[in-house]
Amino acid sequence: MPHSQSEPLPDRARGTRPACDAQTLVALHPDLMRLARRLAGSEAEAQDLAQETLLRLWRRRGDLANVADVRAYGRAALRNLYRQSLRRAPHLHLNEEDAPSIPPEVFASLALSDLKSAIARLPGDQAALIALVMAGETSPAALAGQTGCPRNTVMSRLARARAQLRRDMDLAPAAPVASLF
**Cα distance between residue 82 and residue 70, in whole Å:** 18
**Cα distance between residue 102 and residue 95, in whole Å:** 16
pLDDT tens for each residue of 49-83: 999 999 888 888 888 878 888 888 889 999 988 88
**Cα distance between residue 120 and residue 23, in whole Å:** 17
**Cα distance between residue 23 and residue 18, in whole Å:** 13
The pLDDT of residue 42 is 85
Across 29-54, average pLDDT: 89
Across 35-52, average pLDDT: 89
Across 165-173, average pLDDT: 79
User: Of 166 and 32, which is predicted with more confidence?
Assistant: 32
> 48 — phi, psi (to 5°)?
-60, -45
Q: Provide the b/e sequence for 87-117 (b: ≥16 CB within 10 Å).
A: eeeeeeeeeeeeeeeeeeebbeebbebbbee
- Sign (positive/negative) of CA torsion 148, 146, 179, 49? positive
**Cα distance between residue 67 and residue 170, in whole Å:** 28
Predicted TM-score (pTM) above 0.85: no
The yes-or-no verdict on residue 117 having pLDDT over 60 is: yes
